[in-house]
């Protein structure tokens, strides 16, 4: 495909030589800058991503080498009409690409040892001078070039030296392993540019152009066309490459930020910055180990504020938050280096007293703490005073590590029931709260057989269109004497005492049955169910779901299984296996409460879920916390990058709704749209259009009730 194009003119010679040389310098400097920018994205050369980045970098540099030749020849054109052989010119570009691959490949994604830098500079130098010389071939000069050796050697030495300096500057900015700063990168690119243009001029000198009398390709690809391509075309390609590289770097940075923030959040409480329960557990385990070794004791203080709720309600949540922060600061001030403080959430704190405290020490410590907490908090011209109740458990007297915090809590409750503003040591009789749990357990056993459990459904909204596309099933227990008991109360008991298996089976069956009822009414709802850790460990799970789907003739694609992130993380290999089996069935997998567990992004990739559900605690903070916005934005970007759908739960305000939409969340769920409702209420909404809000059900949810379609 030789482009039989326009006739050559000497038009480009109108432009003064110096200007043309400067143009060549600009293009080759830009090319080198882009090449370095792409090359620094190579992390590991022997991966596909690494190879692609290197290829991009080498292509950019090859564009630079080639452009500097075309523009350089046009800067001082021979005194006769000349043109290029198109294919030959492409061949020169390919040769430049090979040299660039070798040169950049030597130093990309590795530690830049002097040996590698020298090899790289050598390859680039030979490549540059070689292709500068080759570049004369597509001109088809007559009678033909006779090379003068000395200028050629000088060109080669200059090119290698220049490339060596350029690579040196690039790695000087970093420390051989880290990428250079942008200033050093620009310096390095300029040195590359200068050495490309200079060596090209030396090569032209060595070729003795003055002795030539004509070009056999005078009527082929015009020099002016190529110069245009080499300047405007090259710059356009290079700028696109640079933009791409910069965008990729930004995305990577925001992902990294999100990951660190997620990690920080999984160990710290967002409000006070104190360690959370998870981190406290770790610190306690360590302290117990040390105490065992030294035959020492420890004290755990469970601190709960008295009368915090009225403060929160009368002065507002923002002031309530300030009080919680102030208390955290006072506890921190009180803690000695061997003590630890944590915030459990709400108005509950934990403190670990080290250094072998006696019961009396712990008591005195608690009294002092209470005095400090009891001093008025002044904020924004207002004043709030709270007292506190403290429960104390001493290790090892008051139980093994697994029971310490619960026992300290039981002691706190006892202090509170004594009127508050006091402290109490743990005593065995205080675990009567456990008796209450045993009562619940006894009732729960009956609940299943007596039909006291039922499911309510909370709609999921497609964010861009605002249409209802499905619903999440949530369990409710209508207790004969206590009234409605929430899942947060009874699911943990069911899990602890082995009832969750039977309840989970009932849930699967019931959700599929309901989906069948809706289908018969002409409504093809997508239904999501929550799976507990216990269910996930059960090898029967996938078969059970399969059977329920078949029994009620529900398409697997209509069912989503939500698995809490921490559960998926705790038992990783098992979770991966189970998710694999569920995927084979064709049901969807969603990672629930995302952001609350130990998030490992690489593990997420392995777990082949289709959806992430951002925990409502992040959504709650969206309006007030830039951190929360950064995390959610990062999570959404991450999810898009690895091809996951993102759902946000707990959307309560219009402002949260708008922020989440602008981030590109796929689906939303929350009280703003609809609270969990009975299946009948949901049908009424879909069929008769009587719902809490003016939302439409997606058209495709309505089944065409064609003859024979009814089951
Ligand atoms: P989850 O899976 O994270 O469910 C979302 C919870 O957030 C539900 O509480 C829902 O009513 C509530 N919610 C929804 N929108 C909003 C909102 O805008 N603001 C606020 N503040 N809350 C909102 P619910 O029904 O009390 O469920 C609590 C948890 O109990 C669920 O959390 C889930 O982990 C568990 N659970 C519920 N049903 C089942 C079940 O059938 N099986 C299992 N294994 N767990 C269940
Ligand atoms: Ca859920
Ligand atoms: Ca959740």
Same domain, 324 and 399: yes
Interior/surface letters 103-118, b for 16+ CB within 10 angstroms, e for the rest: bbbbbbbeebeeebbb
pLDDT of 553? 95
* Integer angstrom CA distances of residue 440 from 433, 493, 499: 11, 8, 12
Domain with 444 in it? 438-702
Mean model confidence pLDDT for the chain: 86
- Ligand 1: which of 455, 461, 474 to mutate, most ligand atoms within 8 Å of CB? 474
User: How far, in Å, CA of 519 to CA of 615, rounded?
Assistant: 30
Same domain, 490 and 347: no
pLDDT of 173? 59
Query: For residue 413, how far is its CA from the centre of ligand 3 (angstroms)?
Result: 28
Same domain, 505 and 417: no
CA nearest ligand 1 atom 45, residue:
530
Q: Is 491 in the pocket of ligand 1 (CB under 6 A)?
A: yes
If you average pLDDT over residues 587-615, what whole number do you get? 81
The 3 state secondary structure assigned to 176-207 is CCCCCCHHHHHHHHHHHHHHHHHHHHHHHHHH
Q: What percent of the chain stands above pLDDT 70?
A: 93
pLDDT of 316? 79
Same domain, 147 and 181: yes
At what angle are helices 401-417 and 277-294 packed, to 10 degrees? 110
Residue labelled with tokens 């007292």: 387
Query: For residue 187, how far is its CA from the centre of ligand 3 (angstroms)?
Result: 51
pLDDT band for position 416 (cuts 50, 70, 90): confident
Long-range contacts of 634-639 (CB under 8 A, 24+ apart): 634/254, 634/255, 634/257, 634/258, 634/259, 634/261, 634/262, 635/258, 635/262, 635/594, 635/595, 636/663, 636/664, 636/665, 637/251, 637/254, 637/255, 637/258, 638/255, 638/258, 638/601, 639/612
Q: Is residue 263 part of a domain?
A: no
> In this predicted model, what pLDDT tens digit does every residue of 543-586 receive, in sequence order?
999 999 999 999 999 999 999 877 766 667 778 888 999 999 99
> In this predicted model, what pLDDT tens digit does every residue of 47-60 receive, in sequence order?
788 888 899 999 99
Which CATH number characterizes residue 606's domain? 3.20.20.450
CA nearest ligand 1 atom 27, residue:
487
pLDDT band for position 457 (cuts 50, 70, 90): very high
Query: For residue 650, how far is its CA from the centre of ligand 1 (angstroms)?
Result: 9
Q: Is residue 261 part of a domain?
A: no
Same domain, 188 and 76: yes
What lies within 8 Å, CB to CB, of 351 at 6+ separation is 300, 301, 303, 331, 335, 339, 340, 341, 342, 369
pLDDT band for position 5 (cuts 50, 70, 90): very low
Query: For residue 406, how far is its CA from the centre of ligand 1 (angstroms)?
Result: 24
> In this predicted model, what pLDDT tens digit does every residue of 522-554 receive, in sequence order?
999 999 999 988 888 888 899 999 999 999 999
Which CATH number characterizes residue 281's domain? 3.30.70.270
Same domain, 337 and 242: no
pLDDT band for position 9 (cuts 50, 70, 90): very low
Same domain, 25 and 156: yes
pLDDT of 103? 92
Q: Is 463 in the pocket of ligand 1 (CB under 6 A)?
A: no
Task: Please say which residue of 398, 427, 456 terminates a domain.
Answer: 427
337, HSE (Cβ side, Cα atoms, 13 Å): 0
pLDDT band for position 40 (cuts 50, 70, 90): confident
pLDDT band for position 611 (cuts 50, 70, 90): very high
Give the ligand with the smallest distance to the CA of 532: 1
Same domain, 182 and 313: no
Q: Which atom of ligand 1 is nearest to the CA of 669?
A: 15
Same domain, 442 and 418: no
Q: Is 326 in the pocket of ligand 1 (CB under 6 A)?
A: no
Q: Is residue 351 part of a domain?
A: yes
Number of domains observed in the structure of the chain: 3
Q: In this predicted model, which residue has the larger pLDDT, 317 or 456?
A: 456
Query: For residue 474, how far is its CA from the centre of ligand 1 (angstroms)?
Result: 6
Query: For residue 562, how far is its CA from the centre of ligand 2 (angstroms)?
Result: 6
Q: Is residue 367 part of a domain?
A: yes
CA nearest ligand 1 atom 33, residue:
530
pLDDT of 396? 87
CA nearest ligand 1 atom 11, residue:
676
> Is the pLDDT score of 6 beyond 50?
no
Task: Please say which residue of 254, 286, 306 terminates a domain.
Answer: 254
Q: Is 487 in the pocket of ligand 1 (CB under 6 A)?
A: yes
Q: Is residue 423 part of a domain?
A: yes
pLDDT of 525? 93
> In this predicted model, what pLDDT tens digit does every residue of 120-168 receive, in sequence order?
999 999 999 999 998 888 888 888 888 898 889 999 999 999 999 998 8
If you average pLDDT over residues 29-34, what whole number do you get? 94
User: How far, in Å, CA of 607 to CA of 592, rounded?
Assistant: 13
Q: Is residue 548 part of a domain?
A: yes
Query: For residue 412, how far is its CA from the centre of ligand 1 (angstroms)?
Result: 28
pLDDT of 454? 95
Among 187-191, 249-253, 362-366, 625-629, where is mean pLDDT lowest?
249-253
> Is the pLDDT score of 601 beyond 70?
no
If you average pLDDT over residues 442-447, what whole number do you get? 90
Q: What percent of the chain stands above pLDDT 90?
A: 39
Same domain, 499 and 641: yes
> Is the pLDDT score of 708 beyond 50?
no
Query: For residue 565, how far is its CA from the centre of ligand 3 (angstroms)?
Result: 9
Q: Is residue 269 part of a domain?
A: no
pLDDT band for position 433 (cuts 50, 70, 90): low
Same domain, 585 and 515: yes
> In this predicted model, what pLDDT tens digit does every residue of 648-662 receive, in sequence order?
999 999 999 999 999
pLDDT of 598? 58
Q: Is 474 in the pocket of ligand 1 (CB under 6 A)?
A: yes
Q: In this predicted model, which residue has the larger pLDDT, 566 or 189?
A: 189
> Is the pLDDT score of 452 beyond 90?
yes
Same domain, 284 and 225: no
Q: Is residue 649 part of a domain?
A: yes
Q: Is 565 in the pocket of ligand 1 (CB under 6 A)?
A: no
pLDDT of 1? 37
Q: Which atom of ligand 1 is nearest to the CA of 651?
A: 18
> Is the pLDDT score of 3 beyond 70?
no
> In this predicted model, what pLDDT tens digit does every residue of 74-105 receive, in sequence order?
888 888 888 888 888 889 999 999 999 999 99
Q: Is 651 in the pocket of ligand 1 (CB under 6 A)?
A: yes
> Is the pLDDT score of 498 beyond 60?
yes
Closest CA to 214 of 21, 72, 14, 8: 8
């Amino acid at each position: 495909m030789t482009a039989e194009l326009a006739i050559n003119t000497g038009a480009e010679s109108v432009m003064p030589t110096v200007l043309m040389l400067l143009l060549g310098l600009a293009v080759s400097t830009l090319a080198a800058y882009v090449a370095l920018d792409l090359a620094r994205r190579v992390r590991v050369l022997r991966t596909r991503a690494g190879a692609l980045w290197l290829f991009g970098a080498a292509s950019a540099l090859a564009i630079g080498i080639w452009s500097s030749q075309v523009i350089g020849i046009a800067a001082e054109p021979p005194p006769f009409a000349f043109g290029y052989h198109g294919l030959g010119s492409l061949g020169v570009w390919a040769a430049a690409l090979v040299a660039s691959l070798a040169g950049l490949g030597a130093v990309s994604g590795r530690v830049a040892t002097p040996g590698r830098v020298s090899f790289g500079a050598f390859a680039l130098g030979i490549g540059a001078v070689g292709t500068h010389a080759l570049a004369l071939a597509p001109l088809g000069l007559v009678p033909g070039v006779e090379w003068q050796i000395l200028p050629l050697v000088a060109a080669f030495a200059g090119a290698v030296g220049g490339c060596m300096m350029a690579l040196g500057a690039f790695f000087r900015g970093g420390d051989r392993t880290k990428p250079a700063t942008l200033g050093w990168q620009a310096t390095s690119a300029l040195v590359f540019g200068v050495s490309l243009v200079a060596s090209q001029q030396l090569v032209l000198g060595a070729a003795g152009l003055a002795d030539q009398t004509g070009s056999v390709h005078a009527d082929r690809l015009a020099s002016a066309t190529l110069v245009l391509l080499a300047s405007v075309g090259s710059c356009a390609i290079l700028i696109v490459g640079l933009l791409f590289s910069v965008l990729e770097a930004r995305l990577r940075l925001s992902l990294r930020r999100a990951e660190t923030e997620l990690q920080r959040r999984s160990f710290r409480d967002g409000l006070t910055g104190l360690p959370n329960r998870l981190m406290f557990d770790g610190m306690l385990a360590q302290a117990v180990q040390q105490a065992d070794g030294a035959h020492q004791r420890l004290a755990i203080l469970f601190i709960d504020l008295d009368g915090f709720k009225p403060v929160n309600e009368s002065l507002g949540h923002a002031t309530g938050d300030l009080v919680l922060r102030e208390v955290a600061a006072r506890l921190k001030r009180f803690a000695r280096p061997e003590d630890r403080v944590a915030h459990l959430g709400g108005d509950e704190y934990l403190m670990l007293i080290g250094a072998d405290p006696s019961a009396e020490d712990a008591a005195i410590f608690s009294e002092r703490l209470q005095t400090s907490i009891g001093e008025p908090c002044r904020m924004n011209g207002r004043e709030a005073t709270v007292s506190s109740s403290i429960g104390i458990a001493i290790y090892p007297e008051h139980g093994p590590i697994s029971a310490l915090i619960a026992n300290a809590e039981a002691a706190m409750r006892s202090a509170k029931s004594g009127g508050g503003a006091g402290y109490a040591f743990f005593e065995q009789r205080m675990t009567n709260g456990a008796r209450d749990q045993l009562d619940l357990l006894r009732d729960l056993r009956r609940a299943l057989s007596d039909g006291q459990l039922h499911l309510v459904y909370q709609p999921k909204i497609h964010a861009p269109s605002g249409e209802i596309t499905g619903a999440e099933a949530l369990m409710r227990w209508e207790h004969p004497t206590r009234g409605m008991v929430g899942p947060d109360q009874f699911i943990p008991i069911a899990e602890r005492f082995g009832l969750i298996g039977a309840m989970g089976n009932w849930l699967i069956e019931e959700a599929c049955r309901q989906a069948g009822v809706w289908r018969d009414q002409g409504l093809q709802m997508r239904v999501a169910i929550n799976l507990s850790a216990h269910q996930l460990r059960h090898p029967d799970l996938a078969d059970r779901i399969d059977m329920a789907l078949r029994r009620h003739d529900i398409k697997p694609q209509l069912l989503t299984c939500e698995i809490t992130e921490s559960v998926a993380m705790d038992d990783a290999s098992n979770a991966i296996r189970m998710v694999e089996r569920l995927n084979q069935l064709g049901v969807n997998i969603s990672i629930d409460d995302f952001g609350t567990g130990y998030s490992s992004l690489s593990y997420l990739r392995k777990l082949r879920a289709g959806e992430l559900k951002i925990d409502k605690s992040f959504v709650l903070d969206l309006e007030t916390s830039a951190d929360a916005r950064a995390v959610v934005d990062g999570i959404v970007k991450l999810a898009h990058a690895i091809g996951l759908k993102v759902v946000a739960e707990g959307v309560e305000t219009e402002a949260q709704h708008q922020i989440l939409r602008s981030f590109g969340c796929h689906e939303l769920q929350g009280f703003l749209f609809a609270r969990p409702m009975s299946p009948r209420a949901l049908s009424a909404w879909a069929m008769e259009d009587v719902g809490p809000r003016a939302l439409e059900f997606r058209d495709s949810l309505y089944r065409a009730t064609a003859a024979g379609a009814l089951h």
